[in-house]
Amino acid sequence: MSFFDEGDEPTRVRSRPARPRRPATAARGGGAGAPPDRQTARLRQAVGLGALAILAIIIVLGFKGCLDSRKTNALKDYNRNVTAVINDSDQSVGKPFFQRMSNGARDSQGLQVQVNQLRLAAEDDVKRAKGFDVPGDMGSAQRNLELVLNLRAEGLTKIADQIPAALGRGQTSEQAINRIAGEMQAFLASDVVYAQRVAPLIKDALDKNDVNGQQIAASRFMTDVSWLAPATVASHLGRSASSGSTGTSGQAAPGLHGHGLDATSVGAVTLQPEAPGVVNRVPWSNNPTLTVKFTNQGDNDESNVKVSVSVKPTSGKTISVTKTIGQTKSKATSTVNIALGAAPPAGTPTTVTVAIAKVLGEKTTSNNRSSYTVIFTR
């Protein structure tokens, strides 16, 4: 029994103690598994927020840059549109209008039709301008631009309506001519409004937005202000206007009126006024021409001014000639050449008299005429 007892002694099994587990990254200096310390976390948050702020600034600046670029382009486009329409108004409407009016006497039958065609073109310019895409800073310029173009279109409409009567005769013609001259003021006003309002307002808007290098168009629809005078309109239409400068009531316009005779010459000889012992000797010809210089001394332009010359010998027939000047300008000197149309007597004293007719409203006429003692020598 003891033998078996000894043989059945249980076998002892040794068990090894379990190895302690290391943190996965503990030996690697701390990793994702280890929570960062507070300072590191704050640093990371600050970096993230900074990146987001920079991204937001970039987006805002980019958006603002797009808006600024769009606004700049809109301002440039508007200036280009104004340039195009105002150049069309000047060159395709104003220029041909005054050319056709200047030839009115030669093409009277088609004049009204031609002016109406230009009126339609002017109305198209108004429609074009109203269709512009107008930036907010150009609002005032746009309103004045439309005023400019409307003045031109309306002026052409009213002038076209008056042309048939103006090409007629008598008082009806004179009244229509006066109305046409009055409507010409609309064209002058349009030039003033453009120069004083439209162009400066466009420039201010461009400068305000730092838009440089832009050319702002100038405008000149009426190139000759003499069209404001009825005499100018009448002369181009082959008609006559009432003499003198008159107001709407038919009375003389306010201010001084009248002319003063400056000098008379025949060829190279300037005549000296009649006086004791003064005799002017002039080479004889069968049709001498006298050159008369005189000045409009008044405050108004005058129309249909008559200048007359007479040559009266001591015996024989007097030679008389009168010439009408369509218009004289205030404070300006005029020169007129008057041919006698006949041969004066030779070798005998003659009295040459030059006179400028009195105009409406003229009160002093003592300086309107002068007489000269002349001997035409062969």
Are 268 and 359 contained in the same domain? yes
Tokens 């109406």 belong to residue: 116
Both tokens assigned to 256 = 């001084």
Strand partners, 327: 303
**Distance in angstroms (rounded) separating the CA atoms of residues 151 and 187:** 7
Both tokens assigned to 175 = 């009244």
Q: Which of 197-201, 211-215, 355-359 has the weakest average pLDDT?
A: 211-215
Model confidence at 47, in pLDDT bands (50, 70, 90)? Answer: confident
Residue-level pLDDT at 34: 63
Helices 95-102 and 108-130, packing angle to 10 deg: 170
> Rounded to whole angstroms, what are the CA distances from 326 to 23, 242, 288, 336?
117, 11, 23, 11
Examine the pLDDT at 58 and tell me if it is beyond 80: no
Residue-level pLDDT at 44: 75
Model confidence at 244, in pLDDT bands (50, 70, 90)? Answer: very low
Listed in sequence order, the residues at least 6 apart from 309 whose beta carbon sits closer than 8 Å to its beta carbon are 290, 292, 320, 321, 322, 338, 340, 352, 353, 354
Model confidence at 246, in pLDDT bands (50, 70, 90)? Answer: very low
Structural contact between residues 186 and 155, judged by C-beta atoms closer than 8 angstroms: yes
Examine the pLDDT at 153 and tell me if it is beyond 70: yes
Residue 296's nearest CA partner among 263, 343, 250, 332 is: 332
Both tokens assigned to 295 = 């000045």
Are 269 and 318 contained in the same domain? yes
Q: Which of 9-18, 43-52, 177-186, 307-316 has the weakest average pLDDT?
A: 9-18
Asked if residue 267 belongs to a domain, the reply is: yes
Residue that finishes a domain, picked among 181, 203, 237: 237
Asked if residue 85 belongs to a domain, the reply is: yes
**Distance in angstroms (rounded) separating the CA atoms of residues 36 and 30:** 9
Instruction: Report the CATH number that the domain containing residue 284 is assigned in CATH.
Output: 2.60.40.10
Residue 207's nearest CA partner among 72, 346, 27, 31 is: 72
Examine the pLDDT at 4 and tell me if it is beyond 70: no
Asked if residue 14 belongs to a domain, the reply is: no
Asked if residue 284 belongs to a domain, the reply is: yes
Question: Into how many domains does the chain fold?
Answer: 2
Are 181 and 302 contained in the same domain? no
Residue-level pLDDT at 51: 77
Q: Using one digit for the tens of pLDDT, what is the confidence trace for 94-130?
A: 999 999 999 888 888 899 999 999 999 999 999 999 9
Asked if residue 162 belongs to a domain, the reply is: yes
Are 226 and 292 contained in the same domain? no
Are 94 and 205 contained in the same domain? yes
Residue-level pLDDT at 3: 44
Are 134 and 277 contained in the same domain? no
Are 281 and 215 contained in the same domain? no
Residue that finishes a domain, picked among 186, 202, 237: 237
Are 214 and 278 contained in the same domain? no
Residue-level pLDDT at 171: 77
What is the SS3 assignment for 139? helix
Residue-level pLDDT at 340: 93
Are 209 and 280 contained in the same domain? no
Are 204 and 272 contained in the same domain? no
Asked if residue 30 belongs to a domain, the reply is: no
What mean pLDDT is predicted for residues 140-168? Answer: 95
Are 85 and 214 contained in the same domain? yes
Mean pLDDT across the chain, nearest whole number?
A: 86
Domain with 278, as residue range(s), is 259-377
Asked if residue 136 belongs to a domain, the reply is: yes
Are 87 and 213 contained in the same domain? yes
Model confidence at 278, in pLDDT bands (50, 70, 90)? Answer: very high
